[in-house]
Structure 1
């Protein structure tokens, strides 16, 4: 039995016991998601009116904040007066499918901290004592970054994307009438995608911990990373400069934060390795 497990009072488990343990963590996480999914499914009229379709209305908080900013500088040009489009359901199962999909995504978003906590409970016993020490607050950090990304996608990216596409027209003969499947899928992709993209610092942290990524590597390919971020922004946003910059700037800031985190992790690893080497040589570290 490893020393760290002895110190923590945990017994060594077989491979099948690990699988059984993982199964129950997954089951509990799924139960939490299902419970919130059912709640969202029951509250469908309120959810669609106040959450899903809210970014498509001129009274959405983002548009109101921008309008107030315009009024402060003496301009009404920033006030959104109309978002000209209608939502239709052209497939027989369109509304029902989107009802289930939106309920599940909302359930997943709400249950996200608990899901992360369950998986963290499975991973934590396998960590060494010093790794547990430096990983305190992991669930809170992951959840904070996820909800920050979700809020950014919902309040910044989604409303401006909807406004741009609703007003985009190549001919007066064409009327924008979006299918509900297209509308909901696009909004979900932006919001959930932003939440996942904001996990970049966490990903870099663990990649640095296992030695796949180094701060030198990140600094060396900083320009390449910026190009990749631009490509990602171009894929997940409408083809206008404002929307692309809205997601490029925070993603690049997250990358720079990731470089700092990677450097901190690398320095800590080097110090621990030096201390371990000194212990092996029976020399007390200074």
Structure 2
């Protein structure tokens, strides 16, 4: 007669292995989606990089230019940019694979929340990147060019350094535009109350300027460009939390997560 404890342990081990196999399959599918988009875009890699560099090129002085200090930089930097663009385009598929993996362990009301949450997060992140590209980059590069002129210094930059700067700004503003989602989630999960969010508003304002001072170039205009949207988005998160969460009753479910 088989030992019940041994049978239970074997079942647990099989379940764990099946989860690992499914996770591997989901990661492969997500990776393939990114690779397929990348292959479709790779022919236009130089054009994609020129599009990314346009805000800088339009604000360089007459003799300003971008340079390559690495032997392979002119090849690999456009490839990196194209891969990042492919990842952004394929991100909905990547998020769907993550959703498909975790969905069986969620309650029904949690499933209803995840869909709008993921969609709005993706949209806000793209809005943050667009804000950085169309508003922040031209302003920062124009200010930097203005500072260089009195020094008589020639404004040039390596394309790899430019890519690093652009990625930092994209991530900073993409994450900044996620603030309303974070605020709504904190209130929805009862981690913090609306009253508390209003009470800590002065600390959030100070924190916004500290973060902007760390992330952006050391000039007032660049810091204001990040700090002001961060504060506005925090207020938007409070309003959204009041409208969305404040009207929803707390859902209590005794049933186990759906299979």
Q: Same fold (TM over 0.5)?
A: yes
1:185-207 per-residue CA deviation (whole Å, 9 max, x = no partner) reads 11222123322322222233334
Residue 28 (str. 1) matches residue 7 (str. 2): no
Equivalent position of 1:204 in the other structure: 183
After superposition, residues 232-271 of structure 1 pair within 5 angstroms as 232-263=211-242, 267=246, 271=250
1:148-194 per-residue CA deviation (whole Å, 9 max, x = no partner) reads 11111111111212222233227644222211111121122212332
Evaluate the alpha carbon distance shift between residue 238 and residue 127 of structure 1 in structure 2; reply closer, same or farther with a 3 A threshold: same
Question: Alignment partner of 2:66: what SS?
Answer: strand
CA contact (8 A) 1:158 1:191 kept: no
Evaluate the alpha carbon distance shift between residue 29 and residue 207 of structure 1 in structure 2; reply closer, same or farther with a 3 A threshold: farther
Q: TM-score, normalised by structure 2?
A: 0.79
CA contact (8 A) 2:61 2:145 kept: no
Evaluate the alpha carbon distance shift between residue 83 and residue 208 of structure 1 in structure 2; reply closer, same or farther with a 3 A threshold: farther
5+ residue gaps, structure 2, are 1-13, 255-259
**Offset at 1:94?**
2.4
Q: TM-score, normalised by structure 1?
A: 0.73
After superposition, residues 1-286 of structure 1 pair within 5 angstroms as 14-49=15-50, 51-58=51-58, 82=61, 85-169=64-148, 172-263=151-242, 267=246, 271-272=250-251
CA distance in 1 between partners of 2:188 and 2:105 (Å): 14
Evaluate the alpha carbon distance shift between residue 174 and residue 84 of structure 1 in structure 2; reply closer, same or farther with a 3 A threshold: same
CA contact (8 A) 1:83 1:166 kept: no
Evaluate the alpha carbon distance shift between residue 243 and residue 176 of structure 1 in structure 2; reply closer, same or farther with a 3 A threshold: same
Q: Alpha carbon RMSD of aligned pairs, Å?
A: 2.8
In the comparison of the two structures, how many residue pairs are matched? 241
Greater alpha carbon shift after TM alignment, 252-261 vs 143-152 = 252-261
CA contact (8 A) 1:38 1:103 kept: no
CA contact (8 A) 1:207 1:213 kept: yes
CA distance in 2 between partners of 1:270 and 1:151 (Å): 36
CA distance in 1 between partners of 2:131 and 2:78 (Å): 23
Greater alpha carbon shift after TM alignment, 131-140 vs 99-108 = 131-140
Evaluate the alpha carbon distance shift between residue 267 and residue 138 of structure 1 in structure 2; reply closer, same or farther with a 3 A threshold: same
**Offset at 1:23?**
2.2
Evaluate the alpha carbon distance shift between residue 24 and residue 263 of structure 1 in structure 2; reply closer, same or farther with a 3 A threshold: farther
**Offset at 1:262?**
4.0
CA contact (8 A) 2:208 2:230 kept: yes
Question: Alignment partner of 2:204: what SS?
Answer: helix
CA contact (8 A) 1:208 1:265 kept: no
Equivalent position of 2:11 in the other structure: none
CA distance in 2 between partners of 1:172 and 1:187 (Å): 25
5+ residue gaps, structure 1, are 1-12, 59-79, 278-286
Question: Alignment partner of 1:37: what SS?
Answer: helix
